[in-house]
Amino acid sequence: MRRIQVGSALSAFGIGFTVPFLYVYVAQTRDLGAGAAGLVLAVFAVAALVVLPFVGRAIDRRGPLPVLVVASLLSAAGAMALGFSTSEVAALASAALLGAGTAVMAPALATMVVWCSTPQTRTRSFATQFFLQNLGLGIGGLAGGQLVDEHDPSSFVLLFSIEAAMFLVLAAIAASTRLPHAGGISEAVPAGDGGKRGMRSLLKDRAMVQLSVLGFVIFFACYGQFDSGLAAYGVDAARVSASTLGVALAANTAVLVVAQFAVLRLVERRRRSRVIALVGLIWAFAWAVAGFAGLGHGSQATFLVFSLVITVLALRIGPRLTAAQDQPYGAKSRVVAMGAAAEGGLIPAAEEAPLPLDARESSTTGENPAPAGI
């Protein structure tokens, strides 16, 4: 687990060196214009969409380690190529390679975290990964902002070289890691499915479909706008320097790093669906403040609505989740209490802490129980 977390943090450090300045690099340093810079950012995302449907199956068949090694090598090649791109075609091709590689890295790393953790430690394992990734992004963005000069292409070559080196380090760490669990596709599909109807079975799970839609809206309304729009707004509208962009990214990630575990303590005992619903309200408030400050020139009202949609979707998905899925901490506590009572020979476990009716029924029918309320 330590190797995985260190590798994840180092790769985020490399990404932080370049992502905040990609727009500046294409539009100004290489003098390709704002249109080309927008296309590069779009291709970066589209490449991820193209490869991601195949990543899950590759991880199921080969395991996350070889997938992560290949993705890291592709990302390193894309970063180096982007640093030497002087034409729009070269920049687009390099961005596609880099986007595909970094997109594959995320699910591979997540699978490794799952395999190296237990249900009791998994939430904090992912929280630690998120903490270290944001720390790496913040430090990388701050350091990159001090090194970069939008009028000097060689400074960007240095940044992309550092990013490529971090990906190579991640590949080396992954290649030297021995996971405690070796997975196969037989473990990832329903019994009797034979691997032929995995996607069909997935789409029949309404809770999973709703969760996927919720994830799309979250990334569209917040992360996508921050990653792609901040640099363009800062350079074209606010007229700030590249170093100021680095400081802005560092400030954003500093809040995440400082608040990470404090927030975790507040939310880990609560229903996850309700926590996500609260996030939607917070983001809606943030977009409203941006509108009041005149930062969005009216366009923020689209994103305010999407933030409220996040809240609605989260509240709707809550009843479709099991108690263990929506509130794993509470479910774990009930199981421990029941087991302790049974072992002590005091009274039967079912009498000590009876399960809700829907949960008892699910244990015999195999269906996913839904909490009585959200």
pLDDT digits (tens), the chain, 374 positions: 888 898 889 888 888 888 778 888 998 899 998 889 889 988 988 898 889 888 888 888 888 999 999 999 999 999 999 999 999 999 999 999 999 999 899 899 988 888 888 877 887 888 888 888 888 887 887 788 788 888 899 999 999 999 999 999 999 998 888 877 544 434 444 444 444 556 777 778 888 888 888 888 887 777 766 666 666 666 666 677 766 776 777 777 778 777 777 777 777 777 888 888 988 888 888 777 766 655 555 566 777 888 888 899 888 888 888 887 787 765 554 444 444 444 444 433 333 333 343 333 333 333 333 333 33
What pTM was computed for the model? 0.66
**Residue 233 CB burial class (10 angstroms; 0-12, 13-18, ≥19):** middle
DSSP 48-111: HHHHHHHHHHHHHHH-HHHHHHHHHHHHHHHHHHHHT--SHHHHHHHHHHHHHHHHHHHHHHHH
Cβ proximity of 284 and 307 under 8 Å: yes
What is the per-residue pLDDT across 188-202, written as a single tens digit (0 to 9) for each? 444 444 445 567 777
Task: Give the list of residues 6+ apart from residue 91 with CB closer than 8 angstroms, or none.
Answer: 26, 30, 32, 36, 40, 82, 85
Report the greatest alpha carbon distance in the chain: 77
Residue 197: φ, ψ to 5°: -125, 30
Task: Give the list of residues 6+ apart from residue 326 with CB closer than 8 angstroms, or none.
Answer: 271, 272, 273, 318, 371, 374
How many other C-beta atoms lie within 10 A of the C-beta of residue 179?
Answer: 17
The single-letter DSSP state of residue 185 is G
d(CA 21, CA 85): 15
Output the six-digit token pair for 78: 């894309």
